[in-house]
Amino acid sequence: MTGFGLATLDAGNCKFTVEIKSLNSKFLELSLKMPKAYSDKELLLRNDCSKNLERGKAYVSITVEKQQGEATTAGIDRKKLTIYYRELQEAAKELGEPSQNLLQLALNMPEVIAYQEENGTDEEWALIEQTYQQALKNFQTFRADEGRILKQDLELRIKNILGCQDEVEKLEVNRIPAIRERISTLLNEQVGKEHIDQNRFEQELIYYIDKLDITEEKIRLKSHCDYFITTLNQPDANGKKLGFIAQEIGREINTIGSKANDASMQQQVVVMKEELEKIKEQLLNVL
């Protein structure tokens, strides 16, 4: 959701500048800065920003620089100036301080000088809209360029997870025989082969091995990864959906890890978890 767009338009007597930038955020947090002369257009602009920016901590700034004439007029509130000046004189007298520059201090007091901006015209607003649309176009181009890079990285991470799953399947071939041999050896040492009921042993072994079976988890993991790629290639904004799919991928990886009972397989699970964390970090920047 990070992005940046800048556009300027020089209309001779006025120069219009629109800057749009955003950072990651779960929702749209819009900060809009524009001249008071066009404050009646703020709601219109906010609605357009909400539709086009969608998500992110966004900052939109509009500035108007007058090339000729004064953009604002100023007036002095003489009543407030007099009150501030007299209060300052009395305070200086009581404190025994010099009374120099009190007028300057009084002029800097709140609301003594009032600035009035000129009213914006429809022609100027049309130029502002034109500049805004160009800045928005530049902003969306920035996002699209970044999105293509993110897409490539996410596809690579999913590919790495599936690669680890392939390694898990290769290791799984010898896992069950190894478990069977380990349990059988342990029983022979602790109980003695002559005291073991082979039928009962086989029944218990089947029950135990069934608890370690990860066939369903592998199928679901592959399905979730494929769905992730399919969703990633859709034109809609699916950042939140991709986040939910990533959570499901994480559940399957965790279950495989808990059932693995094999150091080599668990090493592959650790790599898958690392890749998934990178995916989650990147999804924070996807609409």
Q: Are the CB atoms for 239 and 197 separated by under 8 Å?
A: no
Q: Is the pTM of this model over 0.85?
A: no
Rounded distance, CA 235 to CA 71, Å? 45
Where does the chain hold its CATH 3.30.230 domain(s)? 3-70+118-142
- Name the residue with tokens 């690669």: 163
In this prediction, residue 106 has a pLDDT band, given cuts at 50, 70 and 90, of confident
Q: Does domain 3-70+118-142 have CATH number 3.30.70?
A: no
Average pLDDT, rounded, for the chain: 84
CB 6 within 8 A of CB 19: yes
Max Cα distance, the chain (Å): 112
Q: What is the mean pLDDT of residues 257-276?
A: 89
Residue 71 has pLDDT above 50, yes or no: no
Q: Please check the confidence at residue 203 and state whether its pLDDT lies above 80.
A: no
Note the pLDDT tens digit of each residue in 113-168.
765 556 678 888 899 999 999 999 999 999 888 888 989 999 999 999 999 999 98
